[in-house]
Chain A
Amino acid sequence: MTESTFETVMYEKRGSVAHITLNRPEVINAFNVQMRDDLSEVLAAIRWDPDVAVVLLRGAGERGFCAGADLSEFGSAPSQAAARNARWERDVFGVLRDLTVPTVVALHGHVIGSGVELALLCDIRIAADNAVFSMPETYYGLIAAAGGTQTLPRALKQGRALDMLLTGRRLDAAEAVDAGLVQRVVQPDDLEMESERIAGDLAEIDPALAGAIKSALATARDLPLADGLAHERRLSIMLDRGVAGVRPPF
């Protein structure tokens, strides 16, 4: 077991499961620049760590997973060009999305704005039944900018996604599972155990196989069917041959 504590994130490797905990409970784990930088370091380490087979993300504290972006730091970029450069120089959201190992996120309490967006970048979303989800960006004159305008309609039906994004409508855990925003709902007391059980099960899958499934699903999302089928076939042949040492990305 290895453990590292950053200012805003706890990182702990237990066996092959990488546990990441957003750790600003005093502000419901609001996502700030420091958290972006801390997460960026953790994810860079995970990305190149052959011992990590699965990632489990959660938020510290009773009140919730993540209350969204810390707006007190917004508007501090010297120019639009600088803001755009910063967005892509440290693309923490892209790194999380592109991890080849399965990712699980355990959600409870407030899951707002960037909190929803972080969750949507993970593969398996499990929520405590006390979780409440909302996207309040337009209320504050903003748009979702951690992928939410794209990941939300891809996870939910388009009309539901537009409704959440435009009206700020809140979904409770039952509505979230019906809408496809999360895949599973459990009692709050069971969230930790259940998310760890799922992570443990996923850690048993051959990393090459898990990576191939993620790669195939990304293709199903983005490519015409014929190209997706060809990609699936290619992945299958590669896995059948069991080429030693082959690891994703493919």
Chain B
Amino acid sequence: MSNPVHQSSEISDGRVLTIPVGASAAFEDACARASTDEVVRAVVIVLAGEESSADLVEEGMPATLAALLVPVIAGLSGQIDDRALELALTADVRICETGTTFAMTTTTAGERRLPSDGGTQRLPRIVGSGLATDMLLTGRRVTAEEAMRAGLVTEICPAGESNTRARQLAKEIAAHGKSAGRFTKEAVLKGADMPLEQSLRLEADLAILLHTDPERAEGIDAFNRRRKPDFRQEDESK
């Protein structure tokens, strides 16, 4: 453990860190751990929009989660609205339960404010400008099925299973190469803002940088011997 102060954070199998939403301090602590603890390979965030999910997410939380280099999986259920949606949009892989709905209501209801935790930027980049404009201007609620078609989520699981399923996916990602996952995330997110030619340079440079990573050698050896790669040695040497 690199930081004993954080040992109380919820963690399963040592490599998947679940970041709690609700209390700001616990959220910030867990995010700090996700960025400093070399053992963490995937992060799970569970958003259950039972009551007013938007109120659980405080201003600035999406920016904190978005800054993580490690892949983030979001398990979603209930009503994922406003800042909760903005937080979900900073995850890399989003799955939801059947019956989950999504909306940006800040323009049309209540305080009538501009979403300011990335909603106007990440939503169009993730679902396309047509649906994003509709959601942002009219507040229209989107079903899980429509979210699936739009690429807002990539899987719909049965009711009550989003937590389990998000952890499963996180465990799969955590079993993969650590730098491979982080570099892939970086290449996709940072490359999206570049002209293709430059973004391909970024990808190639990250791929070459990965040559220095012992996990790459382990992965190739595993492939050639037709066995499952075992990246645990890296963690145990820490």
Hey, which bits of chain A sit against chain B, CB under 8 A? 71-72, 74-75, 77, 80, 83-84, 87-88, 94, 137-145, 147-154, 156-163, 165-169, 178-179, 218, 221-223
Contact = CB atoms under 8 A, between A and B. Distances in A.
A74 to B, nearest CB: 5
A162 B126 CA distance: 11
A166 B203 contact: no
Contacts of A77: 211
Contacts of B197: 222
B219 A72 contact: no
B217 A144 contact: no
28 contacts: A74-B220, A77-B211, A80-B211, A137-B184, A138-B184, A140-B220, A140-B229, A141-B179, A141-B180, A141-B216, A141-B219, A144-B203, A149-B188, A149-B191, A151-B196, A157-B126, A157-B150, A157-B151, A159-B151, A159-B153, A162-B93, A162-B184, A163-B154, A166-B181, A166-B184, A166-B185, A178-B149, A218-B196
Nearest to A79: B211
Instruction: Describe A's contact surface by its main secondary structure.
Output: helix
A149 B177 contact: no
A133 B127 CA distance: 22
Given A141-B218, A143-B183, A157-B127, A169 B154 contact: yes
Given A150-B188, A167-B172, 16 more contacts: A75-B211, A83-B211, A139-B175, A141-B179, A141-B180, A141-B210, A141-B213, A142-B210, A143-B206, A149-B199, A156-B151, A159-B92, A159-B153, A162-B93, A166-B92, A167-B169
Contacts of B181: 138, 166
Contact of A87 (B176, B188, B204): B204
B125 interface: yes
